[in-house]
Amino acid sequence: MSRDLQHSLHSRLELAAQMLDLPLTAKHLERLAVELTPAVKALLAEQADAQAAAVPVDYSVVEEGGVRTTTYAQCTSRVDATLDPDCPAARLAREFRSRQPDVLATDVPSATYLGLTVRPQSLHAWTWWVHRLALDPAALTRQDDKVYGVGSVGQVIVHVCGDGVPELMADEAAARLMGLLAEAESSS
C-alpha cells in the first residue's frame, strides 16, 4: 500500500512540477514523494475514519450448521455454537478482534484452537504478531500473498494466516534483522 501510494504521489508531483514549470530534478521529486507519503497516508486514514464514523457499521449474526458467524466492521468471527463463550479460544479471539485492527477473521472450532487471519499494516505489526503468537520464523510457510504459521498463546493453539505479509517482507535484509526470516533460508 505505501509503495503504491508513493508511486502515485511521485507521478502527481512530477505532473505538477511540469505544469507549473518548477525547477525540480528527478531526485527532488523522488525525495518529496518519499517524505510526503506518510503525511498523505495519514490524511487518507483520517478521511476514511471520518467517513466510517458517518456510515453505519454493518453487523450481522447468523447461526447455521452449528456455527455462529458474526460479521462486524469487516471482521468475521466464526464460533462453534456448542462452545462456552468464555472458553480460552473464544476469549482470545474476542481480545484480538477488539484490540487489533489487523484482524480480518477468527475461527473457533474448539475450546483450545483459534484460526486467525490478520492483515498487518507494516513489518513491525507482523513482528508483533510473530512474538505474540510465539511463531517460529523458520516454520512459517509462504503461499502466494499469504504466510501461514502455528503458534500458541497460553493453552490456545493459534493457526495464523498473514494476508499480504510476503509483500511486507520484500526487504529481506530488514526482515532478517527483525528475526522474521531464518538466516539459512534462501530467497523464496
The pLDDT, as a whole number, for residue 172 is 63
Q: For the segment 91-133, what is each residue's pLDDT rounded down to a tens digit?
A: 999 999 888 889 999 999 999 999 999 999 888 888 899 999 9
For residue 172, give the H/E element and its range.
helix 172-177
Residue recorded with cell 485492527: 101
The neighbour count for residue 103, using CB atoms within 10 Å, is 22
Quote the pTM value: 0.61
φ and ψ at residue 162, rounded to 5 degrees? -95, 100
The span from the CA of 67 to the CA of 142, in Å, is 29
Residues lower than pLDDT 70 in the chain: 1-2, 52-60, 171-188
